[in-house]
Amino acid sequence: MSLLAPALSAQDGSLQWALTLQGWSVSSPAVSADGTTVFVGVETRTAGRLVAVGADGAVRWSIVRPDGISASPAVGPDGTVYAGCYDGKLYAVNPVSGSIRWQYDAGSFIVSSPSIGPDGTAYFGAGDGRLHAVDARGVRRWTFQTGDWVESSPALGADGTVYFGSRDRTFYAVGADGREKWRFAVAGAVVASPALGADGTIYFGSADQRMYALFPDGRKRWDYFTNGDIQASPVLGADGTVYFAALDASFYALEPLSGAVRWRVSLESNSVSSAAVRADGAVILGADDGVVRALDRANGAVLWRFDTRKAVPDDTIDSSPLIAPDGSIYFTSLDGKLYKLRGNGVGLSEVSNWPAFRGDARRTGRARFGVDAGRLLNLSVRAPVAPQETLIAGFFVQGAGAKAYLVRGSGPALEAFGVGGFLADPRLDLYAGAVRIGGNDNWEEAPPGLSVADTAAAVGAFPFASGSRDAAIVLVLPPGPYSAHLRSGDATGGVALFEAYDAIGGDPRSRLINLSLRGQAGTGDSTLIAGVVVGGTEPVNLLLRAVGPGLEVFGVGGVLARPSIALYSGSRLLGSNEGWSGVPFAADLAGAARAAGAFPLSPASADSALTVVIPPGPYTIHVSGADGSSGEVLTEVYVLR
């Protein structure tokens, strides 16, 4: 996430250009990976076209097909553009020249937009009632038969499961091998595309006027009844809020876990346009009245509107807005034009798992993050501990069963690494809420159970010498929040190293999803440097915060007035922030905090925060005083799930 996005709010929603497409379009535009080219399908009375348009509004190429293209194009990992056509063929097109690389004949019309897997496999529905899977060479992998034609554009989970609906009034989950995992019956056709939550929840609407939320195993989580058919696909906010339009002229915002209404506003027009959620929280959609609206994610208030009817009255907008990486807004209309509106420099939400139609700006239809893909394996920090001071670390365990965790407080062990003035006798106490559940003063006197030495060796921690006064304990903990207090056991101060490890033993599905540390930070040598190790097999989305002023509401004095936070991989800076509320994507940060269960920060506070998507590996977090001051600060790391 760039921290340098320009603020152009005065121009937000104003027209930059409108390109006549020589036909009409219900296709939602897709953008190339570099953000320089927009691809869109067009229909005419005699044919169809796939058009590539530059950011300046100039047509780069156009290919003519014997029938219309109403499905939205999708851009594959190598840049290939995929588009289905009413002639029953899926086309794979060179993004630069417009030449056709291959075509696959499904045998019946295609209005379903393809999902594109990481390996280039395209998944799409057709009028033959089948879901088709075609590899990157254009060769059929498999087909899956339903009871009616498939208009719903499929969504692809991180584990390869394909989710889609059919006009046979059924919603399906099909594995990567083409075999059915489960099906869920509803009372109306399912033509809209589903959205996938970061926790694995599947959201979709139906002609039975209900929005559904299903667990990953196909059980119903909730459903919400509207007063109109739902043809628009849902999208998700940074905090998981479910946004969608229904054919009762209303736009809805639902709570993701319960389906309760957060707000509902009248559009005074029906809409089948799926919305797009920007990182600043604006929710943008089109409607049948020819108007594109930007709504406030908090209450649905109109932030701005752009009316296409000034040129051609009564033409509708079925297209879902495309928010390009530079913040530009593209959409088509039945008036035959592709529009480009100025944005405010902010792109799609980088926290939401599904912020737009088909999930992202390339319309890949693929979940951005895997469910439970990442975990926090280790948190460590070296800091001075005064005689009467306590270093406090917190962590949250998520899962179904108990899991073992190793907590250590090193003092004497640091001497071997050349650290002078170490804490001679560290002491650890562990709490579940206000209840002390364990503790240790000298590591060899740890209570019976899992071996401290064996666990340390298993997780790769350096060993403690026999007879040392370092502290350590291994506890098997059920899911929930915990805190560890590190202090001096002999009323003397010194430098200590605090460590918490996801250890061996217990339910392997349980994991650390939050680590936090409260201590002193300043500048220079007083910069608080914490190490964190991310485990798992896929990139993970993290929220990092450094909270100083935000601690005052909890009665903490002497706080760090202006904390600065930075994340490093080795010596490479990955991201930084000073003053979270002053960045254009503050709504993303606030939404991430809500989704993670973190306490809210004041909109005007000088606390700092950032989100990052990083692969597994070791990282360091640097927290310092942006104005040269020092004080108490809370450093937090959250896995966004």
Could you read off the pLDDT of 85-120 as tens digits, one per residue?
999 999 999 999 999 999 999 999 999 999 999 999
pLDDT the model gives residue 311: 52
Q: What is the mean pLDDT of residues 534-557?
A: 91
170: exposed, middle or buried (Cβ count in 10 Å: 0-12, 13-18, 19+)? middle
Confidence band of 629 (pLDDT split at 50, 70, 90)? confident
Model pLDDT for residues 391-427, shown as the tens digit of each residue? 888 888 888 788 889 999 999 999 999 988 999 999 9
pLDDT for 505 equals: 67
Per-residue pLDDT, 538: 79
Q: Which residues contact 180 (CB under 8 A, 6 or more apart)?
A: 144, 172, 173, 174
Query: At which residue do the structure tokens 């019946």 appear?
Result: 108
Whether the predicted pLDDT of 374 surpasses 80? no
**Of 224 and 458, which is predicted with more confidence?**
224
Residue 118, Cβ neighbours under 10 Å: how many?
12
Average pLDDT over residues 257-265: 97
Task: Give the confidence band of 8 by pLDDT, cuts at 50, 70, 90.
Answer: very low
Query: What average pLDDT score do residues 236-243 get?
Result: 96
Which of the listed CATH numbers 2.60.40.10, 2.130.10.10, 3.40.50.2300, 1.10.10.10 matches domain 9-341?
2.130.10.10
Per the CB < 8 A criterion, the answer to whether 452 and 358 are in contact is no
Query: How is the chain split into domains, by residue range?
Result: 9-341, 372-521, 538-641
Cα 206 versus chain centre, distance: 25
CA 134, distance to chain mean position in Å, is 27
CA dist list (Å): 302 to 14, 74, 154, 329, 448: 15, 30, 31, 17, 62
Higher pLDDT, residue 472 or 507: 472
Residue 10 pLDDT > 60, yes or no? no
Q: Which residue has the higher pLDDT, 1 or 83?
A: 83
167-214 pLDDT, tens per residue?
A: 999 999 999 999 999 999 999 999 999 999 988 999 999 999 999 999
pLDDT at res. 5: 37
Q: What is the pLDDT of residue 376?
A: 85
Mean pLDDT of the chain: 91
Six token digits for residue 92? 């794979």
Structure tokens at 217: 């195993």
Straight-line distance from the first to the last Cα atom of the chain, in angstroms, rounded to the nearest whole number: 18
**Whether 297 contacts 240, CB under 8 Å:** no
Over 60: is that where the pLDDT of 4 sits?
A: no
Q: What is the pLDDT of residues 37-76, one digit of tens each?
A: 999 999 988 888 999 999 999 999 999 988 889 899 999 9
pLDDT for the residue 41: 94
State the Cα–Cα distance between residues 217 and 330, nearest whole angstrom.
Answer: 36
Q: What is the mean pLDDT of residues 596-610?
A: 92
Residue 505 DSSP one-character state: E
Name which of 132, 53, 158 is nearest 98 in CA terms.
53
Distance in angstroms (rounded) separating the CA atoms of residues 282 and 206 = 25
- Tell the burial category of 411 from Cβ atoms under 10 Å away from its Cβ (0-12, 13-18, 19+): buried
- Kindly report the CATH number that applies to the domain delimited by 372-521: 2.60.120.380
Could you give the 3-state DSSP secondary structure of residue 253? strand
Structure tokens at 322: 């495309």
> pTM of the full predicted structure?
0.90
Torsion (CA) 501, 504, 506, 510 in degrees, nearest 10: 50
Alpha helix ranges (H) inside 113-156? none
More confident residue, 376 or 240: 240
Which residue's entry shows tokens 């919305």? 275
**In percent, how much of the chain has pLDDT > 90?**
73
pLDDT at residue 281, as a whole number? 93
Looking at residue 160, its pLDDT comes to: 92
pLDDT per residue as tens digits for the range 546-580: 999 999 999 999 999 999 999 999 999 999 999 99
Q: What is the pLDDT of residue 6?
A: 39
The helices-and-strands tally (H runs, E runs) of the chain is: 2, 48
- How confident is the model over 115-163, as pLDDT tens digits? 999 999 999 999 999 999 999 999 999 999 999 999 999 999 988 999 9
Question: Per-residue pLDDT tens for 478-528?
Answer: 999 999 999 999 988 898 999 999 887 666 777 888 889 888 888 887 888
For residue 2, pLDDT beyond 50: no
Give the number of other Cβ atoms within 10 Å of residue 595's Cβ: 26
